[in-house]
Amino acid sequence: MVRLRFAPSPTGYLHVGGLRTALFSYLYARQQKGAFIFRLEDTDQQRLVEGAEDNLIKMLQWAGLEIDEGADKGGEYGPYRQSERLPVYHKHAQQLLDDGNAYHCFCSSETLDAMRDEQKAKNLPIRYDGRCRHLSSQDVEEKLKVESSHVVRMKIPENEQMVMSDLIRGTVIIETDQLDDQVLIKADGFPTYHLAVVVDDHLMEISHVVRGEEWLPSLPKHLLLFRYLKWRPPQFAHLPLILNPDRSKLSKRQGDVAVEDFRDKGYLPEALVNFIVLLGWNTAGDQELFSFQELIENFSFDRVGKAGSIFDNEKLNWMNQQYLHQLSPDELFERLIPYIRDTAFADQDETKLRKVCSILQPRLVTLADIQDKLSLFFEESPQLTDPELIEALREDSAQTVLRAFQEEARNTEAITEDNFPAIMKSVQKSTGIKGKKLWPPMRYALTLEKNGPDLPLVAGVFGKKRCLRMIEQALNL
């Protein structure tokens, strides 16, 4: 059975790169009728952030990823928090020691710093020089009796060429002489990522490991541990980096990278998921918008590229807008409610709110955009501030159109969506002004924008009184 895991550290928010890793794992697991496991790699106790675990789970749920086994759900392969599995790691570390594939290291931090300084001065590779590797068993026993602080390191074989296979990159070759004798058990008794991940992936019967390419240099160490422990390794897929437009690595310094930031800004989960999956995975044709089910059916590792992918915010905005346009009026309103609640207009009549949201739907790029657009319909006297539009409304032809509309409106019992075009036709007839001189002044005066919502719809919501007030305001500029 195919079993894939997403195993973040609870040290903060869910990065969009982490979501992509989770998504690729989830899509393949669902496609192959397998299991998706959520495991917490919390052995670095100094970096734990309170509430991070709950946030990670909530963001996965928001994105539509259903966890089959995990820290919050349990399962027959648990526990799923590494901090609760320490005896398991110590058992296998002892096995590595007994088999001669690991050793105790007693070097102090001062010794290690001096070693690195010397290597740096001589332009040598910065890595542990293996001095404790050659201690006799008698020396080790004596030191264990008197020295409480020590680590356990794995032995890297010398002069070996490791040939590895990756689902995305094909064959990868690394010389063991380039590797460091990795720490497996830290001085505080907690395992490092390298030991814990190998032990957990085996005991939890993980069949495929999907992770970022920054872990590729660690692959030979992990494969060596699988060899030492006489286990069959899973298949690996190392994903390319997600990059900023300047091709630097995507980071918080250059903008939003947390999934919750995109949620709070009003991006739809289905749009963000669609966008992120296409960061690295290439479709067979020109299709760009995929349902979750279509992603599951079409996903494959052989169409994941090796090169980094640019995080294009404009493309994300376009994609989000496409998904917004597909929502029914009722579904749109339900999704807008949390954003409307944060405005001064939350207590307005719901029927009118629903009508306004429907009118504004083609104008929304994100759900949060609704907050700036409601004032046109509900604020007592919204003001025109665009200098270009103010100047345009001061032109003689614009003033003529506005006054003609004012006159027609005063002589009309009510202004509705249905009769607004007829009123404008009368304005055209009485003034002789048409086309680009007729409609823009009305748009600027009523919507306060160069490209606002459909005018008859706006006028229908405004009614006669508000239309006349907006026209009067434009005439008084």
Scored b (16 or more CB within 10 A) or e, 93-130 reads beebbeeebbbbbbbeeeeeeebeeeeeeeeeeeebbe
pLDDT digits (tens, 9 = 90+) for 312-353: 999 999 999 999 999 999 999 999 999 999 999 999 999 999
Q: With a cut of 80, say whether residue 244 has pLDDT above it.
A: yes
Looking at domain 380-475, its CATH class is: mainly alpha
Catalytic residue among 91, 120, 249, 252: 252
> In the sheet where 183-185 sits, what is the strand order?
102-105, 151-154, 183-185
What's the pLDDT score for residue 254?
60
Predicted confidence band of residue 199 (pLDDT cuts 50, 70, 90): very high
Distances (CA, A) of 250 to 211, 253, 263: 16, 8, 18
What's the pLDDT score for residue 477?
82
Q: With a cut of 80, say whether residue 253 has pLDDT above it.
A: no
Per the annotation, the verdict on 265 as an active-site residue is no
The answer to whether 86-239 and 380-475 have equal CATH topology is no
Query: Would you call 282 exposed, middle or buried from its count of C-beta atoms within 10 A (0-12, 13-18, 19+)?
Result: exposed
Helices 193-203, 219-228: inter-axial angle, 10-degree rounding: 60
**Strand ranges inside 217-286, DSSP E:** 235-239, 242-243
Mean of all residue pLDDT scores within the chain: 94
Query: Between 254 and 295, whose confidence is greater?
Result: 295
- 103: helix, coil or strand? strand
Q: Which residues pair with 151 in a beta bridge?
A: 105
Can you tell me the distance from the alpha carbon of 195 to that of 198, in angstroms, rounded to the nearest whole number?
5
Q: What is the mean predicted confidence (pLDDT) over 426-445?
A: 94
Q: What is the mean predicted confidence (pLDDT) over 72-78?
A: 93
The domain limits of the chain are: 86-239, 252-330, 380-475
**Strand ranges inside 204-325, DSSP E:** 208-212, 235-239, 242-243, 309-310
Superfamily of domain 86-239 in the CATH hierarchy: HUPs (3.40.50.620)
CATH T-level assignment (fold) for domain 252-330: Glutamyl-tRNA Synthetase; domain 2 (1.10.1160)
pLDDT digits (tens, 9 = 90+) for 30-59: 999 999 999 999 988 778 888 999 999 999
Other CB atoms within 10 Å distance of the CB of residue 89: 22
What's the pLDDT score for residue 252?
64
Structural tokens at position 117: 């300084």
Task: Look up the pTM and report it.
Answer: 0.92
Can you tell me the distance from the alpha carbon of 2 to that of 4, in angstroms, rounded to the nearest whole number?
7
Closest to 389 in 3D by CA, of 476, 466, 438, 448? 448
Q: What is the mean predicted confidence (pLDDT) over 273-287?
A: 92
Can you tell me the distance from the alpha carbon of 18 to that of 472, in angstroms, rounded to the nearest whole number?
54
Can you tell me the distance from the alpha carbon of 378 to that of 384, in angstroms, rounded to the nearest whole number?
15
Contact (CB, 8 A) for 303 and 281: yes
pLDDT digits (tens, 9 = 90+) for 363-410: 999 999 999 999 999 998 899 999 999 999 999 999 999 999 999 999
